[in-house]
Amino acid sequence: MNSEKKLGFGLMRLPLTNPEVDTSIDIEQCCKMTDTFLERGFTYFDTAWMYHNFTSEKAVKEFLVNRHPRESFTLTSKLHGGFFDDLEGRDRIFNEQLEKTGAGYFDYYLIHDINHGNYEKYLKLDCFNWLKAKKEVGLVKHMGFSFHGDAPLLERVLTEQPDIEFVQLQINYLDWESDNVQSRKCYELCEKFDKKVIVMEPVKGGNLANLPQYISEPMTKMHPDWSLSSWAVRFAASHKNIFMVLSGMSNIAQLEDNTAYMQNFEPLNDEEIAVLMEAAEKIRKDIAVPCTGCSYCTSGCPMQIAIPKYFELYNNDKKIIKEWGWKEKRAEYEELTKTFGCAGECIGCGQCEGICPQHLPIVSKLQEVAAHYGK
């Protein structure tokens, strides 16, 4: 695998011309962000079939592939088991991804979102040998998978799939010791199997970039010039087996911040890591719904409920109530319900829980949101 700067541009949270329409990607701003990213020596771009309601890959062609030499960047995409049910479906999606991006080949390609439910499906449809064949003919340069299961499953997958070159894991200081996500245990297994790691969700969907003062104060006191998101990205990048840390940057300011401190990256020291571990303990006691805002849950919702948006408002409200005592986000919630289904309209079908990478009890949490804001 090539030696690259450790920061990757995640294309799941691109800037939008209309914040309420996930497909309204702001191509002009994306062009500026892409140019700055490449000018500062970073090359890694990460997209996927379903990002931005299936439009991220097409946008990549506009702001990256058509504007820069193919050898000047590396591009990653993914195959998700939720969108095909037969052998032909694998090639249908892959070929459309090549067409949408115009990239000719993918530098990195992942079997996406492996967990206890879909690993058997990937085995049944022979997806690992299929991916190996793509590599053999040059359509994929490096093969890997992204993972949202527990450590025992990861050990099984790594044992059964020795040709895999890298693993994409959710790693951040909040999930490092999580019993659910098991970031540390999974990272250590990758070390054991000598597999490089790509990090997703280092800022946990932006949650670690927006902390109450009583949590963030020790961090800002130690490094007044560091952004809160930079603490999170630095934590992920500080582990020696990390090949790349993805950041879903939504505006030029976020990109300029990330590329500035990652130009000549220095790992965190023990004292800095201790500050983050203390912050994680406080956050765990406060956060109502540990949603990362990936939006996998929304495309199949029969009631068109804006699940991640409601959870974000609810989480922010819980913080505000603790500090100041009022529901500041009620008006924003009511405005969203003019376009999307209300939280209380959930019919409990469970499709969202089946696809959620965080394995959240979404149905019951929507009931909490509905009770919080009322009809």
Confidence of residue 121 (pLDDT cuts 50, 70, 90): very high
Rounded Cα gap, residues 140 and 198, in angstroms:
17
Amino acid at 116: H
Predicted local distance difference test score (pLDDT) of residue 331: 77
Indicate the range of 151-160, 187-196, 262-271, 318-327 predicted with least confidence.
318-327
Q: What percentage of residues in the chain have a pLDDT greater than 70? A: 96
257 close to 229: Cβ distance less than 8 angstroms: yes
- Across residues 235-257, what is the average pLDDT? 96
Determine how many CB atoms are found less than 10 A away from the CB of residue 94. Answer: 21
Backbone angles phi, psi at 145, to 5 degrees: -150, 155
Determine how many CB atoms are found less than 10 A away from the CB of residue 316. Answer: 16
Indicate the range of 52-66, 219-233, 319-333 predicted with least confidence.
319-333
Mean pLDDT rounded to a whole number for the chain: 92
Predicted local distance difference test score (pLDDT) of residue 283: 85
pLDDT digits (tens, 9 = 90+) for 257-293: 999 999 999 999 999 999 999 999 988 877 778 888 8
Pairing of strands 106-114, 242-247: unpaired
Predicted local distance difference test score (pLDDT) of residue 116: 86
Question: Is the predicted pLDDT of residue 303 greater than 80, yes or no?
Answer: yes
Question: Is the predicted pLDDT of residue 322 greater than 80, yes or no?
Answer: no
Residue 141 is classified by DSSP as E
Task: Say how far residue 23 (Cα) sits from the centre of its chain.
Answer: 17
Predicted local distance difference test score (pLDDT) of residue 253: 95
Rounded Cα gap, residues 329 and 93, in angstroms:
39
Q: What percentage of residues in the chain have a pLDDT greater than 90? A: 75
Indicate the range of 106-120, 236-250, 276-290 predicted with least confidence.
276-290
Question: Is the predicted pLDDT of residue 31 greater than 70, yes or no?
Answer: yes
34 close to 4: Cβ distance less than 8 angstroms: no
114 close to 145: Cβ distance less than 8 angstroms: yes
Q: Which residue has the tokens 């245990």?
A: 185
Predicted local distance difference test score (pLDDT) of residue 352: 92
Predicted local distance difference test score (pLDDT) of residue 324: 47
Maximum CA pair distance of the chain? 61
